[in-house]
Amino acid sequence: MLPAIFGLAGPVLSAEEEDLIRRTDPLGFILFARNIDHPEQVKALTDALKALTGRDNTPILIDQEGGRVARLGPPHWRVWPPALDFARVYAQSPDRAKAAVLCNYQALALDLVALGISVNCAPVLDVPEVGAHDIIGDRAFGAEPAVIAELGGALLEGFALAGVVGVIKHIPGHGRALADSHEALPRVTASIEALNRDLKPFKALAHAPMAMTAHIVYDAWDEQRCATLSPRVIRDVIREEIGFDGLLMTDDLDMKALEGPVPLSGRQSLAAGCDVVLNCWGRMADMRGLAEQLPPATSACLRRLSEAMAIWRAPPPTAEIVEQQIDLLAERDRLLQGN
């Protein structure tokens, strides 16, 4: 198995993509708005991907956080609130907020289940810092590590109840970055003491099945390399200090925070200790380069993948999904209104 998660060019697989998938057996795939038209089309696409890999539990990812990060939207899918909305409820009633989060994200995950999508890249566990870039903003469950951990844990529970795997991000923390790593390489100069505060949500949810790295240089840990490419950060901080032993994927290798060819960044991230690379944009040259240059998935990667995907299960009938969502959303709204 190739330790890569590939994006796709459009809503239907091309002959080139089908051939590449058959030859290389990538670990998984990620969908974006360009891959999404209507429910029947998305389900046909995910069915085709599973047929090509021969694995019903092939990880098929999406970024469906709610709020401003949502690949599924009207007219076929409902709008979901941003994470910060639940933090505001938490200030009034922690118990109501946690229960509302569980209901909301279980219902959201059922949208994915109906489409054959098995992994959602959430929750955001970054702790936003005043004065930092607003790339995180309302995507986080507030600005207090303990609250972020509690509500992030409820989100993961809601996903798991629906049979969807969550991905904690952006480990070891994006909240202090002064730049958007999609556009530039951020450098965080904070002290170890300050960074320890940012680690708290990740430590609390170190049992999560999957995590996504941050393309950020943390001077206190490694002045030369961003976390995705740093053996020290991955080994000493993510694996040892945080205690995360789940499947560790890179953030998108196409982001401008990383320099050089995508296949080179992919090799470097695996050498640093990541389990799998994320290559989102469906560019055939990059995917072929990764297929040629990456080693096969390690035994540790395959073990972590198997343990993570144990959460996935075959979806229930559509009518049952709809009924569950109606009940969950009614309960969520009751909780949010304080009734």
Catalytic positions are 182, 251
DSSP string, 268-330: HHHHHT-SEEEE-S--HHHHHHHHHHSPPPPHHHHHHHHHHHTT--PPPPHHHHHHHHHHHHH
Structure tokens at 286: 């990059």
User: Which residues partner with 273 through β-bridges?
Assistant: none
Q: What phi-psi label fits residue 35: left (phi over 0), alpha (psi between -120 and 50 degrees) or beta?
A: alpha
Spatial separation of the C-alpha atoms in residues 103 and 324, rounded to whole Å: 10
Q: Is 133 helix (H, G, I), strand (E, B) or coil?
A: coil
Spatial separation of the C-alpha atoms in residues 269 and 272, rounded to whole Å: 5
Spatial separation of the C-alpha atoms in residues 258 and 209, rounded to whole Å: 25
